[in-house]
Homo-oligomer: A and B are copies of this chain.
């Protein structure tokens, strides 16, 4: 309900789909592959059918940042971003893209209210997600960022089977680049949360939330009433009291 996860392509009318087929195409991109500049030029509008696409910035001295992750249903309009140093679009796992012809896209937006609403809702939500992510990065600590991320993933795909079971679709290293931290720190934070019994990490890509309220509080930066030096680990105990 957060937003419609249906693919934009799937919402077009029949005649639009016919026009679409003329100027568009479905492509698959494997992990670590980028959408080539050439493709971006000829198909500046893409909708993601499956997989996770990342928007990466390279800091020229090697530091890599994943500025945003795009998932099923997200629409990317790269027309106005030619001048902006947007960065590279790199697949974090196998990604299926629906490449749209600008002409067809614009026509759909103009004439098909469902398509228009869908596109507008998606782009609006992308903005809010990006803003929310920026807020996470700005002032939160590592543990809080990770907690936020778990909820972000959980909320993103409404088709999630269980509310407690979150499927992490990307590697640890990519997660680190997305959250602005180091893989080592990500690892330590997972261990910390698991050690407190807040989450359970079975597989590297599978997390089960055991104490959602507490995880939420951590994500919201509620460090509990105390900020004192936990010489005796009292901070842990108080935080874990909600379990």
As for how many copies of this chain the complex holds, the number is: 2
New A-B pairs, 6, CB < 8 Å, besides A59-B139, A61-B223:
A64-B139, A67-B132, A87-B135, A123-B127, A127-B130, A134-B134
Report yes or no: B138 in contact with A222, Cβ–Cβ below 8 A. no
Among A28-36, A75-83, A184-192, A194-202, the stretch that binds chain B is A75-83
Q: Which of A9-17, A113-121, A235-243 contacts B (4 or more CB under 8 A)?
A: A113-121
Q: Give the docked Cα–Cα distance between A113 and B80 (Å).
A: 17
Is A39 in contact with chain B by the CB < 8 A criterion?
no
Asked if B135 and A57 make an inter-chain contact with CB atoms under 8 angstroms apart, the answer reads yes
Residues of B within 8 A of A132 (CB): 67, 84-85
Is A1's CB under 8 angstroms from B60's CB? no
Complex contact B137–A77 (CB within 8 A): no
Judge if A149 is at the interface, Cβ distance under 8 Å. Answer: no
The reply to whether A131 and B55 form a contact with Cβ atoms under 8 Å apart is: yes
Q: How far is the CB of A5 from chain B (nearest CB, A)?
A: 14
- Cβ of A179 within 8 Å of any chain B Cβ, yes or no, is yes
Residues of B within 8 A of A121 (CB): 80
A172 at the interface (CB under 8 A from B): no
Whether A221 is near chain B, meaning CB under 8 Å from some CB there, is: yes
Q: Is A161 an interface residue (CB 8 A)?
A: no
Q: Which of A61, A66, A85 has the most CB of B within 10 A?
A: A61
Chain B residues lying within 8 Å of A133, measured Cβ to Cβ, are 130, 134
Shortest C-beta distance, A86 to chain B (Å), equals 6
**B180–A81 touching, CB < 8 Å:** no
Q: Does A126 contact B (CB under 8 A)?
A: yes
Contacts of A60 in B (CB 8 A): 220-222
The one of B59, B109, B123 in contact with A116, judged by C-beta atoms closer than 8 angstroms, is B109
Given A80-B3, A80-B121, A59-B128 contact (CB < 8 Å): no
Q: Could you tell me the distance in whole angstroms from the C-beta of A67 to the nearest C-beta in chain B?
A: 4
A230 touches B (CB below 8 Å)? no
